[in-house]
Amino acid sequence: MALDTAGAADQLLGEGDIPPVHEVNAEGTSPFLLTSDHHGRVLPRALGDLGIPESELVRHIGWDIGIAGVAERLAQMLDAHLIAQRYSRLVIDCNRPPGAASSIPVISEATTIPRNEAISDAERAARRREIFEPYHHRIDATIGRRLHGKRPTVLVSLHSFTPVYAGVARPWHIGALYNRDTVLPQLLVKHLRSQGDLVVGDNEPYAVSDLTDYTIPVHGEARGLVNTGIEIRQDLIADQSGQQQWADRLARVFAEIEVELRAERLLD
């Protein structure tokens, strides 16, 4: 596992690296704007393999397993715009405030990330400038354009979670996450629980906060948007069949919720 430290300290992405932002259905007409902070697990060529084996990179510490397939299918089914981030959360976590220790983790769960140890301020700034900022600037610009055009906009941040954490099994199939705004999460919990076959987390297995999250506080709450986070258990969406089933389920639920939001004049 070579640690490739080549390249100028003030530049991260170069020839052969892909852009950090991935979009689906940018002209979609749905009020729902979908984001996926941990969509991919690409590593910049300059960082080599971060000093860890592939078996670690494909785990949850590297990305949100299964959520890419759900997000892209859901975008098409809802005719919604999806903005996603391609690089591994181990390079820089695009759902963490840049000053947080977990933004560029030295240890993730029990795994040490050697290439993240003792990095310079210049390298830290490059990761933020070339990956984190383009992604969030794109979300911000999209919301600004939609609001300027008086388009109803509801932010849905899509994630997945591990079935077992610290040796404890997690019973939830899906969770609705929130901080200050509970309108959409409570509608989501109500509709999902009414299906009768799901264990639905109400701000479980995680809760949103200004200290641990970025997308919802900055793009949802600070912009005054109706918003929710969604976490789906990874073993349910590990293959294409599961991804399609959950996209189908969420598309039906969001279609019903859109009707309710319009009736309550929350999409005017």
pLDDT of residue 4: 44
pLDDT digits (tens, 9 = 90+) for 212-227: 999 999 999 999 999 9
Asked whether the predicted pLDDT for residue 6 surpasses 90, the reply is no
Give the model's pLDDT for residue 1: 45
| pLDDT computed for residue 268 by the predictor | 73
pLDDT at site 2: 40
**What's the predicted TM-score (pTM) here?**
0.94
**Sheet architecture: strand order including 226-233:** 21-24, 81-85, 32-36, 154-161, 226-233, 174-177, 200-202
C-alpha to C-alpha distance for 4 and 196, rounded to whole angstroms = 51
CB contact at 8 A, 260 and 190? no
For 193-214, the pLDDT digits (tens) are 999 999 999 999 999 999 999 9
pLDDT tens digits for 100-126? 999 999 998 888 999 999 899 999 999
Residue 72: its pLDDT value, please? 98
Q: For residue 110, what pLDDT is reported?
A: 85
What pLDDT score does 70 carry? 98
**Bond from prior residue into 205 cis (ω within 30 degrees of 0):** yes
How does pLDDT run across 7-65, given as a tens digit for each residue? 445 899 999 999 999 999 999 999 999 999 999 999 999 999 999 999 999 999 999 99
More confident residue, 79 or 5: 79
Dist CA 72 CA 83 (whole Å): 10
As beta bridge partners, residue 169 has: 164
Cα–chain center distance at 48: 24
| 87/79 Cα distance (integer angstroms) | 25
Read off the pLDDT of residues 134-183 as tens digits, 9 standing for 90 and up: 999 999 999 999 999 999 999 999 999 999 988 899 999 999 999 999 99
Q: Could you tell me the pLDDT band of residue 96, with boundaries at 50, 70 and 90?
A: very high
Q: What is the pLDDT of residue 7?
A: 44
Q: Taken in order 84, 177, 236, 28, is the CA torsion positive or negative?
A: negative
Look-up: residue for tokens 């220790």? 101
